[in-house]
Structure 1
Amino acid sequence: MAIKLSLDTLDQLPDRVARPLYQRSDLSPGILHFGVGNFHRAHQAMYLDRLMNAGRAYDWALIGAGVFEGERKGREVLQKQDWLTTLVEQEADSSTARVLGSMVDYVEPADARAIVARMVQPDIRIVSLTITEGGYFLDSDDNFDPTHPMIVADAQEPETPETVFGMILLGLQARREAGLAPFTVMCCDNVPHNGDVTRRTLTGLARLSDPDFADWITENVAFPNAMVDRITPATSDRERAMLRDEFGVEDGWPVFCEDFTQWVLEDNFPLGRPPLEEAGAQFVNDVTPFEIMKLRILNGGHATIAYPGGLLDIHFVHEAMEHPLIRAFLRKLEETEIIPTVPPVPDTDTSEYFDLIERRFSNPKIGDTVRRLCLDGSNRQPKFIVPVIRDALKADKPVSGLALESALWCRYCAGKSDSGAEIAPNDPNWDALQEVALTAKDNPQAWLDQKAIYGALGQEPRFAEPFAKWLGKLWSDGTARTLTDYLEQD
C-alpha cells in the first residue's frame, strides 16, 4: 500500500525515495514566491532543497503565494501534505524520486492583505515570480501596456490590488514606510530580459498612481535577469498513479520532469541570496546570450513541433519527435533559420546545444503533451518566434520555415485537426484567434494583421508571402504534404 506523503510519514517512505536530510523545524523563510506551480517546484524549490540537504541556506526557505482564487485548490493539496512535494526526475532508462521540503508555508491565495503583510516581514529578502510568459502586461513591442483592464483597475484602486504587481508595490511601499530595505524581485519566467521586463511592468504600474514611488523603485530595487530551463509537464492522474505504483508514495500533486536543469542568473541581490552556485546554478555578468539561445532554440523548437503535432492528432511530445516529417522539420528550421540568429554564447556550441534539445524532446518518460506546447500561442509566439523572424529579415536571411511555423499555428487555431477532430480551446484569446484563423483561410493577411502579435512585421512581404503560400498548402494539401514540400525545397 502506498504511503500518503506528510512530515509524519517521511520515515515510512520506501528506501528508494530520497527525503530531506534536514529537519524542517530548522528552516526559516527568506523567499516569498508567486506561482507555486510545477515548474517552480521542479526548479527553484529543487535548487533550494539541494542546498538544504548539504546543510546550507536554512534561512532561505520558501513561502508560497498566489494571486488567483483558482490557486486555492493547489494550496489545499500541499497543505494536507505539510507543503511537501515529490519530484520525479526521468530519463529514458531511469527514474528517481525525492521529496522536497524547501517550502514551509503558503499564504492564502488572492488574500492581498495577508500576502502584503508577509512581504513586509524583514526575513523576506527575495520575492520571486513564476506567473507564465503572458503575465507581464506587455504590448506587441514588449513594452508595458497601461491600458490593460487589470492594470487600469490596480492603478485606480492601488490599495486593493488584483495583480501580482499591485501586491508587490504595496509590499515595497510598506517596507519603505517601515524603514526596511526593499527585497529583491526575482523573475523566474521564460521572458526575454525577464528582470528588466518585471521592473518595467512594476514601475509602469506605479507611475500611473505615484510617479515618485516609481522613481524610487527604479533607484532602489534590484531585478536580476535570469534564464531558467527544465521541461516540466502538467500533473495528471497518470503521474499520480505512476508515483503510487512505481514508488509507493501517495502525493496529491507530484511533479514529474526531465533530469536536465539549468539556471543562469545575474548576481544582483542587495539583501543577500542563497549560494545557488553550490547547487548547480550559474552566475554571470550578462544573461542575454544564454536566454536568447534557450528561448529561440528550445522554446522556439517546442513551437515548431507543437502545431504540426496537434494537426496530426499526436498526443505526446516524444511521439511527435518519432514522426519523421516533424523531426526533420525541427532540425532543418533550427539549423537554417533559428540558430543563425543566436549570438555567441560563452563556452557553448549552439549546434551541440540543439543536439541536446533534440534528445530532451525525445525523452519518452516525460509524458509532456503536444497540447501543452500548443497552449497560449498568442503570448508565446511574440516572444519565441516573432523576434527570430525580425532578426532574420534584418540580416536578409530566409524565413520560409518560420513562415510555415506561423502558418501551422494559424491553421491549428482554426479549431480542427487534419482528420477533422475538434481542437478544444487552448489559448486565453481562443475565440478571437479562431475567428481570425477561419477568415485567414481565404485571406491570409487577416492573420498577420494582428498587431498585438506581429506588429509591423505582418506588413513585410518577405514574411507575408511565404506565410500565405504555406497556409494555402496546409488547407489544400494537409500538414504532412506541406512539411514534405518544405523539406524538399533547397
Structure 2
Amino acid sequence: MTTKLSLATLKEVARTASVPAYDRSALKAGIVHFGVGNFHRAHQAVYLDDLFNLGEDHDWAIVGAGVLPSDEAMREKLAGQDFLTTVVEQDNNRSDARVTGAMIGYLRPGDVAATVARLADPAIRIVSLTITEGGYFINPASGVFDPAHPAIAADGRNPGAPKTVFGLIIAGLKARRDRGIAPFTVMSCDNIPGNGEVTHAAVSGLARLSDPALADWIDANVAFPNGMVDRITPATGPREIGIVASEYDIDDQWPVFCEEFKQWVLEDRFPEGRPALEKVGVQFVPDVAPYEHMKIRILNGGHAAIAYPAALLDIHFVHEAMEDADIRAFLAKLEKEEIIPVIPPVPDTDLDDYFDLIERRFSNPKIGDTIPRLAQDGSNRQPKFILPSTADRLRRGEDVVGLSLVSALWCRYLAGTSDSGKAIAFNDPNIDRIHAAAKAAKGDPAAFLELKDIFGEVAGSDLFRRRFAHALRTLQEKGTRATLRLYLDGKLAA
C-alpha cells in the first residue's frame, strides 16, 4: 500500500526513501525560483537539500514561481504534498529515492501583486531561473536579446502588469530600488552560453523600453553570475509515477527521475550573500565560460546529434539509441573529429575523458530519458548547441561534413515522418514555419537554410550549403541508416 507524500507522512516514507534530516518548519525563504520543472527539482533543489541536511543556511529555502498558466498544474500537485519531491537517482547499478524539502512555497502563476511583493521582500536575495533555452527572447541567429518580440514589447508598454518573467523581475527590482532595499542577484540555471550575460541583457533591455533610469540602475547594481548546470533529467509520466509507487510505496504526483551525476559551476558574484554551496560540491570559479562551452557543445550538442537519427529510426529511449552501433559510432566520430577540436581548453579537464563520461551517461538505461524530449524545441537548441561549432569550423577553414549532417537530419525529421512512415509529433514553438521550410527542402535543400534567424552566418557558407544539400538528398534517397554508414566510412562528402 502506498503512502501519500506529505510532511505528516515522512516517518512512513522514510522506510523506503531518504527524507530531510532538518526541521522543515525552521526553513526561511531566501530564493525565488522561476520555472519549477524537473531539472530544477533534480539539481538546484537537491544541492540546497544537501546543504540543509548538513545543518547549514536554513534561511535559503526556495519559493517557486510561475508565469505560464500551465505552471498552475505543477503548483497544485506540489502544494498537495507540502512542496516535497521524491527524487529517484539512477545509475547503471543502483537506484535510490530521496525526498527533498528545500522548497517551502509556490506563488500562484498570474498573481502579479503577490509575486512582486515576494520579490521585494528583503529576505529574498537570489532570484533564479530555469525557463528553457527558448525563454530568453534571443534572436537565434545573432544571439542578442530581441526587444521587438511581441511579449517583450507588450511588457515594455505596460510595465505595471508584466506577463513575462523578466517583466516580473523588473517590477520586483523597481520596488526594491524605490524602497531603498538592495537588489537581489539574478541567477540563470539554463543551458545558454553566458547565461548570466544573456539574462542581464533581457532584464536591462526590457527595462530600458519603459524606464531608462531603472535600466541604468540595474546595469550598475544587479549581479548576473554566469553558471553551468548539468544533470540528465527526463520528463515525468505515468511510468515514473508508477515506479515510485510500486518500488518505493510512495504516492507522489510529480516525482523526478535523474542520473546520479550532477555538476554546477558558478561565478561567485552574489553581493547580498549566497548559501555555502561549495560545501555540497558546487564549483565556484572566476570564469565559467570554458566549462559551459564544453558542456553545451559536447553534452547538449551530443544530445541534439543523436536525437534526429534515432527518431527517424523509430527509437524511443536515449539508451536504446546508444545501443544502436551506427548512432553510437556517429556520435563518437562527430564529437572527436568536429566538435571537440574547436573547444578551448578547460581547467583540469581532459576533453576526451569528458566525452567518455558523456557516452556512459547517455547509455544509462535506468533513467528512461527519451528521444522525443531531446528532439523538441530544435529551433532554439540547434542555434545554441550545434551551429556554433559549425560556425567555428567554417571560420577556421575546416570541413563540416558531420555537423552539416546533423542539420540535415533535423530537416529530414521536420518533414514529418520517420523512415518507416510513422508520423512524428512535434514540440517546437516555431513548428509552423520550420515544418514548411523542411517540406520545401524536399525539392530544394536551400529552402531550409532560408531560416536566417536560425542559421545566421552559417547559411552564407558555400561549403556548408553544399554539404547540407548533399546530406539531405542522401537521407531522402537512401534513408537514415545508409547515410550514417556512408558518413562513418568517410564517403558522405559531396
What TM-score do you get using the length of structure 1 for normalisation? Answer: 0.99
Cα distance in 2 for residues equivalent to 1:443 and 1:271? 55
- Spell out, residue by residue over 1:264-316, the C-alpha distance to the aligned partner (whole angstroms, 9 max, x if none): 00000000000001011000000000000000000000011100000000000
Give 3-state SS (helix, strand or coil) of 1:286's partner. Answer: coil
Would you say 1:124 and 2:132 are equivalent positions?
A: no
Kindly state the Cα deviation for residue 213 of structure 1 after the two structures are TM-superposed: 1.1
Q: How does 1:465-476 map to 2 (within 5 A)?
A: 465-476=466-477
Cα distance in 2 for residues equivalent to 1:100 and 1:263? 18
Kindly state the Cα deviation for residue 210 of structure 1 after the two structures are TM-superposed: 1.1
Q: Report the more deviating stretch, 14-23 or 199-208.
A: 14-23
- Spell out, residue by residue over 1:419-442, the C-alpha distance to the aligned partner (whole angstroms, 9 max, x if none): 110001221111211111010111
Give 3-state SS (helix, strand or coil) of 1:115's partner. Answer: helix
- Spell out, residue by residue over 1:118-155, the C-alpha distance to the aligned partner (whole angstroms, 9 max, x if none): 01111000000000000000112110101100011000
Give 3-state SS (helix, strand or coil) of 1:372's partner. Answer: helix
Kindly state the Cα deviation for residue 14 of structure 1 after the two structures are TM-superposed: 4.5
Letter aligned with residue 130 of structure 2: T
> Gaps spanning 5+ residues in structure 2: where?
none
Q: Which residue of 2 aligns with 1:242?
A: 243
Q: Which residue of 2 aligns with 1:22?
A: 22
Percent identity between the two aligned chains:
60
Cα distance in 2 for residues equivalent to 1:119 and 1:209? 20
Cα distance in 2 for residues equivalent to 1:384 and 1:331? 16
Please, what is the CA RMSD of the aligned residues? 0.7
Contact kept, 8 Å, 1:266 with 1:285, in 2: the verdict is yes
Q: Which residue of 1 aligns with 2:100?
A: 100
Would you say 1:11 and 2:11 are equivalent positions?
A: yes
- Number of residue pairs aligned between Structure 1 and Structure 2: 490
Kindly state the Cα deviation for residue 456 of structure 1 after the two structures are TM-superposed: 2.4
Q: Report the more deviating stretch, 454-463 or 252-261.
A: 454-463
Contact kept, 8 Å, 2:434 with 2:451, in 1: the verdict is no
Cα distance in 2 for residues equivalent to 1:68 and 1:110? 7
Would you say 1:155 and 2:156 are equivalent positions?
A: yes
Letter aligned with residue 203 of structure 1: S
Letter aligned with residue 235 of structure 1: T
Q: Which residue of 1 aligns with 2:270?
A: 269
Q: How does 1:339-418 map to 2 (within 5 A)?
A: 339-418=340-419
Contact kept, 8 Å, 2:87 with 2:98, in 1: the verdict is yes
Would you say 1:258 and 2:259 are equivalent positions?
A: yes
Give 3-state SS (helix, strand or coil) of 2:161's partner. Answer: coil
Q: Which residue of 2 aligns with 1:325?
A: 326
Cα distance in 2 for residues equivalent to 1:264 and 1:14? 31
Contact kept, 8 Å, 1:415 with 1:423, in 2: the verdict is yes
Letter aligned with residue 170 of structure 1: A
Give 3-state SS (helix, strand or coil) of 1:467's partner. Answer: helix
Kindly state the Cα deviation for residue 211 of structure 1 after the two structures are TM-superposed: 1.2
Letter aligned with residue 88 of structure 1: V
Q: Report the more deviating stretch, 137-146 or 282-291.
A: 137-146
Cα distance in 1 for residues equivalent to 2:440 and 2:57? 55
Would you say 1:225 and 2:255 are equivalent positions?
A: no
Moved over 3 A (4+): none
Would you say 1:286 and 2:292 are equivalent positions?
A: no
Q: How does 1:159-238 map to 2 (within 5 A)?
A: 159-238=160-239
Give 3-state SS (helix, strand or coil) of 1:291's partner. Answer: helix
Q: Report the more deviating stretch, 468-477 or 453-462.
A: 453-462
Cα distance in 2 for residues equivalent to 1:464 and 1:89? 43
Cα distance in 2 for residues equivalent to 1:317 and 1:362? 7
Cα distance in 2 for residues equivalent to 1:403 and 1:134? 23
Q: Which residue of 1 aligns with 2:76?
A: 76
Q: How does 1:56-75 map to 2 (within 5 A)?
A: 56-75=56-75
Give 3-state SS (helix, strand or coil) of 2:316's partner. Answer: coil
Cα distance in 1 for residues equivalent to 2:413 and 2:463? 23
Contact kept, 8 Å, 1:129 with 1:186, in 2: the verdict is yes
> Gaps spanning 5+ residues in structure 1: where?
none
Cα distance in 1 for residues equivalent to 2:110 and 2:400? 44
